[in-house]
A and B are shown apart, each in its own frame.
Chain A
Amino acid sequence: MNLDMNSGPLISLNGVNKYYGDYHALRDISAEIGAGEFFSLLGPSGCGKTTLLRAIAGFEEISGGTITLSGKDMAGVPPNLRPTNMVFQSYAIFPHLSVEQNVGFGLRKSGMGAANKARAIGAALDMVGLGHLGGRAAHALSGGQRQRVALARALILKPKVLLLDEPLSALDRKMREDMQVELMKLQREVGITFVLVTHDQEEALVMSDRIAVMFEGEIAQLADPEELYRRPATKRVADFIGVMNFLPAQAGERLEVAGLGPVDLEGVISPQGAVSGACSVGLRPETLSLLYDGETARSREVRGVVDEVVYYGDMTYYDVRLDGLEAPVRLSMRNTVGRDVLDVGAQARVGWDPRAMVVFPD
């Protein structure tokens, strides 16, 4: 990542609010996005992430607060005069134009001659790997190609910010994973700020420098991917990002975790500060492990019964009912030596580590 915070943030959101009638779509959003940053807005559908992106682009007028781009207040500035360009969810490729005409659409006012335009269009198409398709009609493109055209069409204008509205959601899994890597490469190459909207937490974790997790029009947490995954600010964020097991617990002198027993509060991650009384303890599946015969836990172990086995090829998920617990906990094992031996109903020993625990007040 090439953050350049010295010159001040590129985008500043200050107390941004948006109402649709009585519906409060954006609640006091404040954030700063730096130049060259890959920033993601992540949340379930209806959380306001797309509204916020459209507000930055200029398609939605905000009801309160300010949006500044390179220090300039964007209030009343229409989308065509903002230094932003957007890749739409549907890609919005003009069906009546060729690929080249689509990519060159925004160059009308650039003052370039025809030869320069053609060169710029060629370069933009090469950048997204479509150099050979310039003359093709836009309606004859596949989903992945349409997306590349949409990227080239936006990047050719050298915007300060590229806004991407769920750009990968229409692609199949394989293509999506390839495009994730390509988008990251592209962003490093052109060095401009990318703001991505997505509901796919994996996509956000893979690509972003920083992620804003949004629920009901509010930013619940703004952090880099590792922080977000390791130290989720709230139980809800923890639940939304990846998989997390929650065990009921009581905090006093020590932390009394149902099914696991007493734990020293020291070393347990506690994002919301010191806890006392009823609370929840979160454990990620990969921090738990099945112990085979002869193996001993690195930290501590507990007994249980295998409730469900979900085989994923590279991994196997086990749902294990721990002694003294109602709901099973999920744990994941890497299948390094073929598929593991335990079947549904088998007795299991589960290794766990207090240092992997995240505790939230109830």
Chain B
Amino acid sequence: MAQGLSRDARQGLTIVSPALIFALLLLAFPLLTIIAFSFWTQNFLEIDRTFTLENYSEALTDPLYRALMMRSLRIAASVTAVTVVLAFPIAYFISFYVRPEKKAIWLFLITIPFWTSYLIRIFLWRVILAFDGPVNGTLMELGLIEEPLSWILYNANAVVITLAHAFAPFAILPIFVSLEKIDRSLLEAAKDLGEGAVMTFFRVTLPLAMPGVLAAVLIVFIPTVGDYVTPRLVGGSGGTMIANMIYVQIFDLSNRPMGATLAVVAMLTVTITLAWAILHVRFWVHLNDRVGGGIAGLALAGAAAVVDVGILWWLWTNGADWFGPAGVLGVMAAIMAGGAISIAVFLPKGRWGI
């Protein structure tokens, strides 16, 4: 077999093999175990290894699991939106306004939060957002509020705030890199051709920074859906996410198969959501290009995004009345698959390699 490989390929395999073996042992093997467990059942202290889809049926129809899964997606989406929207101006500032020799220092400053442990940072947020914490104290002192805000801790908002802070550097860096790569003469060319600062941003800077924005979205969204520690510490009951339920199943209720099933469902949900989103971004960009970009293009693409997400949201919240709790999943799957497949088949790959 080795004869079939070129010298370069063999060298490459040698270089990756330690990491590959490590990944196979520590990622693939546990993953396969989880998948196997998800088809089994817990029989008190023993595992009943008869194949069954009972767990999946329960995971997909039980209102509690469905609510937790949807909340996880919603919180992750909020965190992603907040993080990327706040990260963009910071990345923009560093790339465009900080002198080249100072940029390294600024990037270094952005990583300072990593100097303390993730856990300690979450505890600090618990202090900051507390009933008698500095946020409430300051706002009361200033007379902006009469009594402490209760919606900033032990609920979903607290999870969003804490995660957005924790993931900010992961969003800033890819956006910064994509902004750095923009040839500044392109911005001058846009001005030379008659555009002011705002339209130059929307017609040149933002489209060229999109690869960084998309990378930031993926980097923030994927890990936050399954985050466990933050919702556990600052989420209260209203901020509990799917990972917390997986923990409860496995460790508190000793139902490892159910926990495994929820984990598999969570992974599939993230994969399907992202695949759907990426293909629909291709569709939205196509709509934007159809009308020649600019404000009109952004408006059309935005409207299409709202409609696409809105249809799925409506089905999720009201569809059960029409199609039943299992039927609505089928309808949604059909719509998502139909849309995604027609985009993949009929629209050519556009910008940013998607």
Residues on A facing B (Cβ under 8 Å): 57, 59, 78-80, 84-86, 88-90, 92, 94-97, 101, 105-106, 108-109, 153-154, 157
Contact indicator A80/B208 (Cβ below 8 Å): no
State A101–B207 Cα separation when bound (angstroms): 14
Q: Quick one: given A78-B191, A85-B193, A86-B192, are A95 and B185 in contact (CB under 8 Å)?
A: no
Residues of B within 8 A of A85 (CB): 192-193
Complex contact A88–B185 (CB within 8 A): yes
Q: Once the chains are docked, how many angstroms separate the CA of A92 from the CA of B187?
A: 9
Provide the main secondary structure of the chain A interface.
mixed
- Complex interface residues of chain B between 84 and 143 (CB less than 8 A to chain A): none
> B48 near A: Cβ within 8 Å?
no
Chain B nearest CB from A26 CB (Å) reads: 19
Contact B195 A80 (CB under 8 A): yes
26 A-B pairs, CB-CB below 8 angstroms? Answer: A57-B192, A78-B196, A79-B188, A79-B192, A80-B192, A85-B192, A85-B193, A86-B189, A88-B185, A88-B188, A88-B189, A90-B183, A90-B185, A92-B183, A92-B186, A92-B188, A94-B186, A105-B193, A105-B203, A106-B193, A106-B194, A108-B194, A108-B195, A153-B193, A154-B192, A157-B194
Contact residue among B190, B208, B293 (Cβ-Cβ distance under 8 Å from A95): B208
Q: Which residues 165-208 in B have Cβ within 8 Å of A in the complex?
A: 183, 185-186, 188-196, 199, 203-204, 207-208
Check A92 against B189 for contact (C-beta < 8 Å).
Answer: yes
In the complex, what residues of A have CB within 8 A of residue B310's CB? none
Partner of A96, one of B185, B195, B207, B294: B207
Query: What is the interface of chain B mostly: helix, strand, loop, or mixed?
Result: helix
Question: B199: which A residues are within 8 A, CB to CB?
Answer: 108
Q: Establish whether residues B196 and A59, one from each chain, have CB atoms under 8 Å apart when the complex forms.
A: no
For the complex, what is the distance from the CA of A89 to the CA of B207, rounded to whole Å?
Answer: 23
| B294-A108 in contact (CB<8A) | yes
CB contact list, B269-300 vs A, under 8 A: 292-294
The CA-CA distance from A84 to B199 in the complex, in Å, is 19
Evaluate contact between B196 and A92: CB separation under 8 angstroms: no
- List the B side residues contacting A97 at CB < 8 Å: 293
A153-B192 Cα distance, complex, nearest whole Å: 11
Q: A92-B185, A92-B186, A92-B188 are in contact. Are A101 and B292 (CB under 8 A)?
A: yes
Beyond the given A79-B188, A86-B192, A105-B190, please list 18 additional residue pairs across the A-B interface where CB-CB is below 8 A. A59-B192, A78-B196, A80-B193, A84-B192, A88-B188, A90-B183, A92-B183, A92-B185, A95-B208, A96-B351, A101-B293, A105-B193, A106-B193, A106-B195, A108-B199, A109-B194, A154-B192, A157-B193
